Amino acid sequence: MFTHQHLRKTGLLLAVVTTTALAQPSVQQPKMNQNPFLAPYTTPHQTAPFDKIRNADFLPALQEGLAQGRKDVDAIVNNPAKPTFENTIVALERSGDLLGKVTSVLFNLNSAETTPELQKIVKEASPLLSEYGNDITLNEKLFARIKAVYEQRASLKLDTESAMLLEKAYKRFARNGANLDAKGKERLRAIDKEMSQLSLQFGENVLNETNEYSMLVTDEKELAGLPDYVRELARSTAKQKGKDGYMFTLQAPSYGPFMQYADNRELRKKLYMAFNGRGFHGDKNDNSDIIQKMVALRYERANLLGYKTHADFVLEESMAGSRDKVQSFLDELVTYARPAAERQLAELTTYAKAHGFTEDKLQAWDNSYYAEKLKKEKYDLDDETLKPYFKLENVLNGAFTVANKLYGITFKERKDIPVYNPEVKTYDVFDKDGKFLAVFYGDYFPRPGKRSGAWMNDVQGQKVENGQNVRPHIVNVCNFTRPTDTKPSLLTFYEVTTLFHEFGHGLHGMLANGKYESLSGTSVPRDFVELPSQVMENWCYDPEALKLFAKHYQTGEVIPNELIEKIRASQNFLAGLANLRQLRFGLVDMYYHGQKPTGETVTQVENKVDSVANLFPRVEGVAFSPAFSHIFAGGYSAGYYSYKWSEVLDADAFEFFKEKGGLDNKTAADSFRKNVLEKGGSEKPMELYKKFRGREPSPKAMLRRSGLIL
């Protein structure tokens, strides 16, 4: 669905996530005393001084951060006092501040606007960070102190959040090799180092494949069916590249509309093959071997730590709890989704044949095209009709307004906070009592060096330290349709829901209110992290919310009730096919990570899953695994099921919001803020959900919403 990358300091264990990057180039390396990382920030709210940071600053600051982090750990290990919660667990949590400061900026930039120079820096940094993390988790004396505190946990009388920090600290070490012998620890280090490098390379290869491809169309007749806004964007893209004609790329604002509207079936196929062949061309950007290596290394690592598979290792700490439960969950949803998908594909095929399609079966590159036409016929609704009501600035203000009505928070734009690209907007966020809550960065348009997809990060996490509540700096990054010479950025409805989705993650970060950064905000299990984001999506279908921001960009007219009803009526359009598509991704993830590696090729793996979860004919020369960044470059390995799992949660949760009166009644919102958004990972997710909802979640709301049951 959407990509989310979240980088945060978890004690001293840094999540090295592969993405791609930015920072201003510097011809010569600055002196250490000029390095902006090595002095207190003097910017508003101590935000990152992006205008002063140069590529040459990163490695010196990183080395200093590593040195300081090791010094912090040595102080804990060599403390002559008896191990206590404060002098061991809290001290470890508070250590490595400089390193967290540097890496949060580095990896945020490494996803938003990459340069070859910065990619090289990240490749140098990644093994250093991996080695550093292993030096800590495999430090026997440090683990002995942690274990000593853990073994007396019953008598410590810790509050719930502190007890969770202790449990997480112990498990983080135990789950990362602290109990291994010397040989095992050495092998674990080697695996982690290689994994970090492979993951980075995977992400770079996908970005290269995305950026290197373009399709130039010079004959206007071949653009039949494309709306004016799609043509205008393509003409602008060609002009930027010094070409005459219309240029289409694999970026979402170009690729998606072309597949929806272009009458030229051969060009649709050509673009489909390029998009779905990324990382699968047998060249320098091919990811097939990387997948085989990563799957094997993950399996070996899990075995080394005493787990049967990588999925067993990952899911032990999830809300679902086990590989078998996840597999059963996906299999059960297939039994609901596949029959609905089969009926919907039959309807789509019948429609296509009635409108000139002559083959026996629709191909994958026909799906979006005929779906758009059928949707238009059934509901008299398409993106061309809706886009004028969804000017980007209005939609963003709509997200702000919904947040204000639910939680009382307000947003005020600032012009003096440094940004890493002129397009990035910044905001102060205030609570209902006027108290400062967070800094919010919004970055909404595609650029050549920017990873595709949409995600939320933080540049500074939330924590309480020295009696001060350190407030977070939150980033939302998307890739929406740019303004043209004649029109502002007008979003498709899919882009509207994407903005609200990522903003939901942002709220999880902005409203965080815990003591410890490693438990704060979105530091929760993968199958719980999507709850706040997907709850926010629901407001995009809510008449009360839509009327707050869906206004015609030229006339100011509020979206009419007739269109709102069409949006709601079309919400379940082809939902069986959409559900089956998501389940396909989750099943492939579990096939790679839920068993001993089979040695099967990418094509063989996908063919097996497709026999259950794909109704379109298999196409030679394409595969989605080699560009499946979620699980090979984004932290979702053995966790992609969490999107569907979270749909169960969000549908059940949103029913509660509506039961309690929607935007006008604060009962559900207050409970959601108090028990979910503020709590982060300070308690078990099921316990937090039950405190919010009053009971465990039921899947019936999701099945009803998707039209899979009555």
How far CA 416 is from CA of 1, 44, 109, 396, 475, in Å, comes to 34, 8, 19, 20, 16
> Which residues does the chain have with pLDDT short of 50?
1-32
CA nearest to 14, candidates 573, 635, 619, 680: 635
Would you state the pLDDT for residue 5? 36
Cα 681 to Cα 148, 150, 227, 400, distances in angstroms: 23, 19, 46, 25
With tokens 């998501």, the residue in question is: 582
In this prediction, residue 11 carries a pLDDT of 36
Residues contacting residue 80 through CB under 8 Å, at least 6 positions apart: none
Q: Which residues of 623-640 are buried (b: 16+ CB within 10 A; e: fewer)?
A: bbbbbbbbbbbbbbbbbb
Number of H helices and number of E strands within the chain? Answer: 27, 11
**The two three-digit tokens of residue 170, written as one number:** 């112990």
The H or E element spanning position 85 is none
The whole-number pLDDT of residue 710 equals: 63
Q: What percent of the chain has pLDDT over 70?
A: 95
The helix/strand/coil state of 468 is: strand
Region for residue 309 given its phi and psi (left: phi exceeds 0; alpha: psi -120 to 50; beta: otherwise): beta
Which one-letter amino acid corresponds to residue 473? H
pLDDT in tens, 112-130: 988 999 999 999 999 999 9
Q: What is the DSSP string of 543-597?
A: HHHHHHH-B-TTT-PBPPHHHHHHHHHTTTTTHHHHHHHHHHHHHHHHHHHSSS-
Residue 192 in tokens: 């982690």
Closest CA to 69 of 11, 147, 125, 8: 11
Given the residues 204, 372, 502, 517, select the one marked as catalytic. Answer: 502
Range(s) within the chain of domains with CATH label 1.10.1370.40 = 32-179
Give the Cα-Cα-Cα angle 294, 298, 303 (nearest 5 degrees): 150
The identity of residue 442, as a single letter, is G
Structure confidence at residue 18 (pLDDT): 33
Cα distance between residue 577 and residue 707, in whole Å: 12
- Output the pLDDT for position 26: 33
Tell me the CATH number for domain 32-179. Answer: 1.10.1370.40
Q: What's the DSSP call for residue 466?
A: T
**Dist CA 416 CA 11 (whole Å):** 31
**CA atoms within 13 A of residue 337's CA, in its CB half-sphere:** 24
For residues 95 and 11, give the distance between their C-alpha atoms in angstroms, rounded to a whole number. 7
Is residue 502 among the annotated active site residues?
A: yes
DSSP-derived pairing of the beta strands 473-477 and 436-443: parallel
The pLDDT tens digits for 190-232 are 999 999 999 999 999 999 999 999 999 999 999 999 999 999 9
At 279, the amino acid letter reads: G
- Alpha-carbon span 585 to 636, nearest angstrom: 11
DSSP notation for 171-205 = HHHHTTTTTS-HHHHHHHHHHHHHHHHHHHHHHHH
- The DSSP letter of residue 451 is P
Tell me what pLDDT residue 27 has. 34
